[in-house]
Chains A and B, each alone.
Chain A
């Protein structure tokens, strides 16, 4: 299949993708691994369906260029500023620390310092694609650990740029310079001239981005043809890549700079959505070719060397990151999760290895080894994350080694469990009226922040009966369940209902299903967390659409009343019947009740503007005339 034509290769690649990626995702391995496995299967060591993967690699590298472009595009200054300590501190230390240790190890094993440095820096990177996706899937992206991880990844993404710029310089000094054919047209010139050319080129891009790009984008957008805009966005990336190749540094660097330049343009979202599909597919292609390029013969030939590499890589990365996270005040469990989560090699290692090999920095026999090791380390990421998750639970569960619950004992009128956006409002209203409230939150950071604002907040898991009792649940009148986790909230309601039968319980419901569950657990009242706000916005919308303020306000009330009654009625059905029947009942009931609701609201708000001449109004006027006639004394 060496001279496979385009259609045949496309067929093989796409089939491999379509078959293995969904399987990998379903197994919880993530799409990157799916692509790698697909590549390995169609590669020369298993099915041998593709020719030299190098050819495809070339096309696929454009996916990496686009990815860097998009990373640049997403670098909003505000986000960077908010995370600045974490990005520069944790991220910087991670790359430098891991890089230094790996370089030292490499030199200890007899690599030259240039090769060791290139390898070390490359291995310090983790897999943005795999980690971010896994964090989202596990629902920890929004936690402290998640944010720290994101910050480190962000720094790594940025660090790639100087690495790409640095490697050619390492190559000029490299003793292993046999393949050192720097690609650019300026390769013949000395290092400083190349450096100057890079600076000039980047300056050119920045300048063009500020001055030329916007008018051009506007001009193209004015054509009204969507695909032309896509073509222009691609042209932009390709053009920048070509320019960068001309001055002899990575196209990816140029794409990144171009992305940053465009980050504050009004076309940002447009460009992002236009290019994203290309990124996905081309990046997929890139991973496949990496997979196809994994030298399994090497793994078979030197299994212990490679497994040793993987082990050392993961151990070094995890422990360095763990130490840094601890130094930055993360709790033991969190630090373990962050460290283990970032312990694999990254997809950019493949890019950098390919680049470094092309630039003559690292000899091919070493990159071959390292590519296998990195791919394997990525493959075990799901396992590492499971371990991290376990560590986090272990260290945080049940009072935690880090921080014991802190509960102020004594009598309280009301106990508020969960003191985030929701609980705070309820708590403040109650305090204003002079009720003694006891506030419980299990998020240590949140507790510290609130205490900083001078609020009295207890630290502890409200689902624990002993803590509730300490907080005074036995003689309090009311428990407010304002936790944002639906299962925990339900658990708390059930526990408290059983342990303190006289306690009234009000709860925050996440959604309708949760509302039913809470009703089944016999709460004394509940509010769906977004319902009231949505109705308020509906009222404002009616006003904008021209309805009088009072009519709009009343419409909001009528709608709320209708929906709350429907909630009660449907709850009974929900309890009584199977889900399929429930759906049918809801369908029928909704149709009927919406008719009634419409009638009520139209009567009040009016069908359209100018309804003062509607049927009802005329009827009423006729009646009033009639009445006036009758009322006249004869």
Chain B
């Protein structure tokens, strides 16, 4: 029985992102994958909490897909976390709605891979920088997965993008089958 994947997609200027377009296109072509575009759904940041929670309940795996802005996600993702992951629902007393679901961070960065280490430009590794998301997943009793990262996305050639898209697709298929 295939599992279902919910991709929470957040990019404030999606039309200009080649990398995210490449990744999202392959994701959309897969069965059992729902791509939910947050900026398209909530242009005024007024998130429909109940609708979001229903969507989460309907899927087995959660993927947060976004560009890595300022070592974090675009602001709508933070708003989404703030209002959707409610006390008594996602965490706290009786808050077990997401328990057992997997949580994957899928990000594109501007900097190259080697800049994300202790002696690189960004000083910290991706794993370190994603700790707040990992902690969030943890509190919601989700299973934290190895993040999917496309580095230096602006410089990526069509070949690199195609390669990344294939890997992303394979990762998603793994979730569906797993």
Contact = CB atoms under 8 A, between A and B. Distances in A.
Contacts of B46: 554, 557-558, 561
B44 A623 contact: no
A627 B44 CA distance: 33
B71 interface: no
Interface in B10-60: 44, 46, 48
B132 to A, nearest CB: 15
Contacts of B48: 561
Interface in B75-104: 87, 92-93
B176 to A, nearest CB: 33
Interface of B: 44, 46, 48, 87, 92-93
A557 B44 contact: yes
Contact of B92 (A554, A557, A627): A627
Contacts of A557: 44, 46
Nearest to A554: B46
B44 A620 contact: no
A557 B48 CA distance: 11
Interface of A: 554, 557-558, 561, 620, 623, 627
Nearest to B95: A623
A623 B48 CA distance: 25
A604 to B, nearest CB: 10
Contacts of B87: 620, 623
B109 to A, nearest CB: 31
Nearest to A619: B87
Nearest to B93: A623
A557 B44 CA distance: 8
A558 B83 CA distance: 14
A620 B92 CA distance: 10
A625 to B, nearest CB: 12
A560 B78 CA distance: 23
Given A554-B46, A620-B87, 4 more contacts: A557-B44, A557-B46, A561-B48, A627-B92
Contacts of A623: 87, 92-93
Nearest to A623: B92
**Which of A557, A558, A623 has the most chain B CB atoms inside 10 A of its CB?**
A623
**Among all A-B residue pairs, the 4 with the closest Cβ atoms:** A557-B46, A623-B92, A557-B44, A561-B46
B8 to A, nearest CB: 20
Contacts of B93: 623
11 contacts: A554-B46, A557-B44, A557-B46, A558-B46, A561-B46, A561-B48, A620-B87, A623-B87, A623-B92, A623-B93, A627-B92
A620 B87 CA distance: 8
Contacts of B92: 623, 627
Contacts of B44: 557
Contacts of A561: 46, 48
A561 B45 CA distance: 12
Contacts of A558: 46
A33 to B, nearest CB: 56
A627 B95 CA distance: 13
Nearest to A600: B49
A623 B91 CA distance: 11
B103 to A, nearest CB: 20
Contacts of A554: 46
B87 to A, nearest CB: 6
A580 B92 CA distance: 48
A561 B47 CA distance: 10
A75 to B, nearest CB: 48
A530 to B, nearest CB: 20
A627 B88 CA distance: 12
A554 B46 CA distance: 7
A627 B93 CA distance: 10
Nearest to B139: A627
Contacts of A627: 92
A623 B87 CA distance: 9
A548 to B, nearest CB: 16
A199 to B, nearest CB: 67
A627 B135 CA distance: 14
A557 B79 CA distance: 15
B119 to A, nearest CB: 31
Contacts of A620: 87
A558 B93 CA distance: 27
A400 B93 CA distance: 75
A623 B93 CA distance: 8
A627 B91 CA distance: 10
A606 to B, nearest CB: 16
A554 B79 CA distance: 13
A60 B48 CA distance: 66
A304 to B, nearest CB: 75
A631 B93 CA distance: 14
A621 to B, nearest CB: 11
A22 B160 CA distance: 84
A376 to B, nearest CB: 64
A558 B49 CA distance: 12
Nearest to B45: A557
Nearest to B88: A623
A391 to B, nearest CB: 51
A557 B93 CA distance: 30
A561 B93 CA distance: 30
B147 to A, nearest CB: 24
A331 B148 CA distance: 72
